[in-house]
Structure formats: structure tokens, C-alpha cells
């Protein structure tokens, strides 16, 4: 049995038992330091390498201040200066942490002047949190040459409504 922030995961069947105090608390979103976010991602994510830098770095905390998730986003690596991309999102399994972080990243991208926000998932991932945060799938992208797993990705987008960059 694995223990991460008092969330116990049974490694035999990947089931997660979430304590009642996690289900009953609201999450607070705030900026977090890049080193803290990188350490959290290295601790919680199976395959994602924590990014060295990002324009937007946010964390989700429980009422007692326990960090339960982080999101990294920056301007998209293209000629489109009006688009930001979520390129890393990791949580400890706390319910609604992904959706809360994606919504906060959307608001932060709007505040930074971006017109749209994109994210990528593996084809087998359902995108439930992305849908809850207002994203919609727009197609597939070939794996980048630096991708550690070499798998193609599903691209999702949402408008940030407002601002021009």
C-alpha cells in the first residue's frame, strides 16, 4: 500500500481510498513556487517530467494547507502568440483538484492576455476534468520528438474570453 498525503492507493488494483476530510473540504488555488511544484510533480506523477520553468504555476491546497495538485502553463510554442498551453498537471488524487486547477489556469491565462488555452492528453485518457473546466477536443497531434513515451496526443482547447495578445 502506497501513502501519499494520507491517500492510500492499493497498488494491486489501483483503487484509491480518499479520506472523508478530503471529500468535505473546498480547495484553495494560489501561486506556488516553481521548485515546490516541480517536487510535487516528481512525487506524484508516473511519467511526466516536471518542467524547468513556466509562466503560470498554480497549486491547489486543502483547508489545512496541504498541497494536493499543481498545474504549469505558458505561451504555446508556435507563431500564435494568443495561445497558452497547460503542459503539466499533477495531483495526489484529491477529488476535483484537476478541474479546479484547469479552471484557475484558464483564468490566469486570460489575465495574462491569452485568448485561448490548450492542453494535451494521451488518447486513452477520457478528459473528464478538461470537459468540466470548459475544454473541448479539437483533434490529434503527433508526438513531439522530445516526448518520453512517443505517443500521439489528443489536443483540447478552451477560449479564455477576453484580452488580446
Residue 58: band (very low, low, confident or very high) from pLDDT cuts 50, 70, 90: very high
Q: What is the mean pLDDT of residues 91-116?
A: 93
What span, in angstroms and rounded, lies between the C-alpha atoms of 156 and 5? Answer: 30
Report pLDDT digits (tens) over 138-155: 988 776 544 555 678 889
Per-residue confidence (pLDDT) for residue 24, from 0 to 100: 53
Return the C-alpha cell found at 126: 477520457
Per-residue confidence (pLDDT) for residue 30, from 0 to 100: 94
What span, in angstroms and rounded, lies between the C-alpha atoms of 58 and 38? Answer: 11
Return the C-alpha cell found at 101: 486547477
Count of helices and strands (H, E) across the chain: 4, 10
Task: Fill in the DSSP letter of residue 59.
Answer: E
What span, in angstroms and rounded, lies between the C-alpha atoms of 127 and 134? Answer: 11
Q: State the residue for C-alpha cell 486547477.
A: 101
Say yes or no to pLDDT of 99 above 90: yes
User: Backbone dihedral region of 93: left (phi > 0), alpha (psi from -120 to 50 degrees) or beta?
Assistant: left
Strand 7-10 versus strand 153-159 pairing type? unpaired
What span, in angstroms and rounded, lies between the C-alpha atoms of 1 and 11? Answer: 6
Q: What's this model's pTM, rounded to 2 decimal places? A: 0.76
Residue 9: band (very low, low, confident or very high) from pLDDT cuts 50, 70, 90: very low
Strand 116-121 versus strand 83-91 pairing type? parallel
What span, in angstroms and rounded, lies between the C-alpha atoms of 53 and 1? Answer: 33
Amino acid at each position: 500500500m502506497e501513502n501519499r498525503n494520507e491517500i492510500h492507493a492499493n497498488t494491486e488494483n489501483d483503487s484509491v481510498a480518499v479520506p472523508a476530510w478530503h471529500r468535505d473540504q473546498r480547495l484553495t488555488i494560489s501561486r506556488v513556487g516553481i521548485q515546490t511544484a516541480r517536487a510535487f510533480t516528481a512525487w506524484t506523477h508516473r511519467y511526466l517530467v516536471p518542467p524547468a520553468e513556466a509562466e503560470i504555476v498554480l497549486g491547489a491546497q486543502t483547508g489545512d494547507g496541504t498541497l494536493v495538485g499543481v498545474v504549469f502553463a505558458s505561451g504555446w510554442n508556435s507563431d500564435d502568440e494568443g495561445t497558452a498551453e497547460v503542459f503539466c498537471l499533477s495531483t495526489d488524487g484529491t477529488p476535483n483538484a484537476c478541474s479546479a486547477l484547469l479552471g484557475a489556469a484558464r483564468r490566469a491565462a486570460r489575465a495574462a492576455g491569452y485568448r485561448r488555452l490548450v492542453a494535451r492528453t494521451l488518447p486513452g485518457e477520457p478528459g473528464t476534468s478538461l470537459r468540466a473546466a470548459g475544454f473541448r477536443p479539437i483533434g490529434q497531434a503527433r508526438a513531439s520528438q522530445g516526448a518520453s513515451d512517443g505517443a500521439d496526443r489528443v489536443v483540447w482547447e478552451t477560449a479564455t474570453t477576453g484580452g488580446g495578445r
